[in-house]
A and B are shown apart, each in its own frame.
Chain A
Amino acid sequence: EDKVVQSPLSLVVHEGDTVTLNCSYEVTNFRSLLWYKQEKKAPTFLFMLTSSGIEKKSGRLSSILDKKELFSILNITATQTGDSAVYLCAVDANAGKSTFGDGTTLTVKP
């Protein structure tokens, strides 16, 4: 059974801090790993990673994948209150059927 584990489950930081969110996986037929941000209802796409060692970057967010050690990290630098959300990691390993982790709830305090 495909498995995705995220850590920590929750995190509270202050504005300006840097955070690292972790995602490890055990799947067969890995195709891609995706990060989503869920603020209230609909998750919104952040990154898709398919190759090891290549950093994807968007503003203050960046992510990298290690296919040998089977994990990915999502970094957020200079956090803002608007970064408060649930961050979901998903692995696409089976014909488009993504397996999601339980998410990391990030709270950024002013």
Chain B
Amino acid sequence: GAGVSQSPSNKVTEKGKDVELRCDPISGHTALYWYRQSLGQGLEFLIYFQGNSAPDKSGLPSDRFSAERTGGSVSTLTIQRTQQEDSAVYLCASSPSGSTGELFFGEGSRLTVL
């Protein structure tokens, strides 16, 4: 596609359930990032994939959060046993190389945990 695609755009779930959020980056972009944005806040780094290198998971807030990137393209962010504090917009971004420069963001997945 022309831009970064994320799904679902909205997800409402009950506390304790698992959720999966999907990101399809711009074709050819080797770097992929997940950020989280709580209401009125900036973007909080979660995880970064660059090519075939081991991902930088330093931003994941707990072991309930995990992400994978298959075939160097699509990525899935999984949140297990969701908590109310996980409610936020999860933004995915990609960039051509990850060395430096602008990030191309998707529209985000808004997660609400009841």
B59 neighbours in A (Cβ, 8 Å): 97
Taking chain A's interface residues, is the majority helix, strand, or loop, or is none over half, making it mixed? strand
- With A32-B100, A41-B108 as known contacts, state yes or no: A98 contacts B45, CB within 8 Å: yes
Rounded to whole Å, the gap between the CB of B98 and the closest CB of chain A is 4
The 8 Å CB contact of B95, one of A44, A88, A90, A96, is A96
- With A88-B43, A102-B41 as known contacts, state yes or no: A42 contacts B106, CB within 8 Å: yes
B103 neighbours in A (Cβ, 8 Å): 34, 43, 45, 90, 98
Rounded to whole Å, the gap between the CB of A34 and the closest CB of chain B is 6
Interface set, chain A 76-108, CB cutoff 8 A to B: 88, 90, 92, 95-103
Whether the pair A42, B42 counts as a contact (CB closer than 8 A) is: no
Total number of residue pairs linking A and B with CB closer than 8 Å: 68
Q: What is the bound-complex CA distance between A32 and B100, given in angstroms?
A: 7
A96 neighbours in B (Cβ, 8 Å): 31, 33, 48, 50, 95, 98-100
Whether the pair B101, A48 counts as a contact (CB closer than 8 A) is: yes
For B, the interface residue count at a CB cutoff of 8 angstroms equals 29
The 8 Å CB contact of B42, one of A31, A50, A97, A100, is A100
Closest residue on chain A to residue B48 by CB atoms: A97
B79 neighbours in A (Cβ, 8 Å): none
Rounded to whole Å, the gap between the CB of A72 and the closest CB of chain B is 15
Contact of B91 with A by CB under 8 A:
yes
Q: What is the bound-complex CA distance between A48 and B41, given in angstroms?
A: 21
Closest residue on chain A to residue B95 by CB atoms: A96
Annotate A19-34 by CB proximity to B: 1 below 8 A, 0 otherwise.
Answer: 0000000000001101
11 A-B residue pairs with Cβ-Cβ distance under 8 Å, sorted by A, are A4-B42, A42-B91, A45-B103, A48-B102, A92-B100, A97-B45, A98-B103, A100-B42, A100-B44, A102-B40, A102-B42
